[in-house]
Amino acid sequence: MKKNVLAALLIAAMAMAALTGCDSSEPKQDDSSSTAPQLEVLEQFGDLSASDAEYEPNGSYDKYTVIDYALEDAGMTVRVTASAKADDSEYYLEYAFFGDDQLVVCDNSGNISYDKSGFMADTTPGMLKHIQENAVWSAMPDSAPVLGTPSSEQGTSGDAQVSVNEPVYVPEYTKVTYDIDFLYDIESETITNLQQECSEKGTVVTLDYTAPAYAVNEILGQDLSVEKSVSVYLPYGYDESQQYDILYLLHGTGGDEKYWLLDEKTGIPTCNVLDNMIQQGICKPMIVAAPNFHSEIKGTDYKLTEEIIADYAKKVDDSYLKVKNDVWPEFFQYELRNDIIPLVETAYSTYAGGDVSQENLIATRGHRAFAGLSRGSMAVARSGLMGNADMISYFGSFSGVWAKFDDFKAIFSESGAFAQYPVRFWYNGNGTEDFSAEDHINFHNNVMAELSGKFVEGENYALIVKNGAAHAYENWIVDLYNFLLVSFKDS
């Protein structure tokens, strides 16, 4: 959204409204409604349209807007659907933040009366100020669902109390001392130094492609395609005559293909880490491909609403699928296998040698890794370990799993689909202040209890829980460093 343009439009609209409501022959009335502009139902909010909204507005309120807000600490942008009272006394803010769906109710100063997850107290005042200064408001359409206003004592399902800044629950687990020099401190001097500019810099290029909209097509019975891009890091001195290992690296809910390699706040330091680790011999020179797991068809009627997702989740018996952002990590396995890997490994020199047949990609699986953060980590479990372990040997889960353990266990059982494809290493990273820790560590405990023959700590498996680390880039860049310590060692 173009802030300056929107601000100018709002100032002009306010000025016109003030002139219209002013009469020099009469005393000025203390009635804000006489000068407030009458809102119309809009389809466009600056650069965003109503169809770009990730959540429907709440018809219990009088007006709404759709607006993007940059969460600088997390290195991501969230798309907010904000509903508000006509007098701006109360706001209802809904948006997706990595692996969690956020809902906040606050007054016009940002004081929170309801916080669905309990993590947004620090974020809300700045977000609200941005909305108040930049939003283009629409009258509430008659079709908007009337959702009411949740109370501070009631969760969205009416069965749980939600407290602001509720502590993260970290389940008990057996702590193991590894022979690998993993980092446990997000403020480590090692990771700080690696984020500095390197004298031997790799390059980042972008590949565009068209892929089937796998999730939309399967769930809605369509045959649609989506235009997408993948960012690709080529190491310093990249030479077409050499073959390189390759890492496929995914963003989270609010990110895209730019997050890891091109974004100013997260991409630049990540590239510096890659450059320095390669220059210092900490890891091998490698190619890193950063795709985008989102595959929404914009500007059409093919929306995956919560009702549609609920019906699909019931059909496939998967309680983890609640909103459309949950289905992208599930269906990404087909795009990764059929579109992204063949695209990238045809364009650049990997151990596939340009032969991207299924047979050859399986034969060269030891030179391929897949990692991701938050919902990208969900994709690593579902679309990587459970979907493409015949083509990929190394996996990195940074903050969360969100998969059905029984299904996971079946795939790696003696008669499972990937029984003959050993995982060379599965790295798991999380933090004591990360809301995904409970899910992730519970899954870890199940793996250790029931799949210890397949995943042996220190040999092809590790869990690193960093003290004080939250659901943020500072956590994940350490995970990336740790993951690269164990990737491609046997290739």
Q: What pLDDT, in 10s, does the model give residues 441-462?
A: 999 999 999 999 999 999 999 9
Question: Which residue positions in the chain have pLDDT lower than 70?
Answer: 1-37, 73-75, 98-100, 117-119, 151-166, 299-300, 491
One-letter identity of residue 305: T
Confidence at residue 490, expressed as pLDDT on a 0 to 100 scale: 73
Contacts of 463 (CB under 8 A, 6+ apart): 173, 176, 428, 429, 430, 441, 444, 457
Confidence at residue 149, expressed as pLDDT on a 0 to 100 scale: 75
Confidence at residue 324, expressed as pLDDT on a 0 to 100 scale: 86
**Spatial separation of the C-alpha atoms in residues 344 and 231, rounded to whole Å:** 10
Confidence at residue 102, expressed as pLDDT on a 0 to 100 scale: 87
Delineate the domains of the chain, giving CATH numbers in brackets: 3-23+30-139 (no CATH), 189-486 (3.40.50.1820)
Confidence at residue 311, expressed as pLDDT on a 0 to 100 scale: 96
Confidence at residue 54, expressed as pLDDT on a 0 to 100 scale: 86
Instruction: Tell me which DSSP letter residue 337 carries.
Output: I
Confidence at residue 151, expressed as pLDDT on a 0 to 100 scale: 54
Confidence at residue 342, expressed as pLDDT on a 0 to 100 scale: 98
Q: Report the DSSP beta bridge partners of residue 288.
A: 233, 247
Confidence at residue 11, expressed as pLDDT on a 0 to 100 scale: 38
**Spatial separation of the C-alpha atoms in residues 284 and 238, rounded to whole Å:** 12
Confidence at residue 465, expressed as pLDDT on a 0 to 100 scale: 98
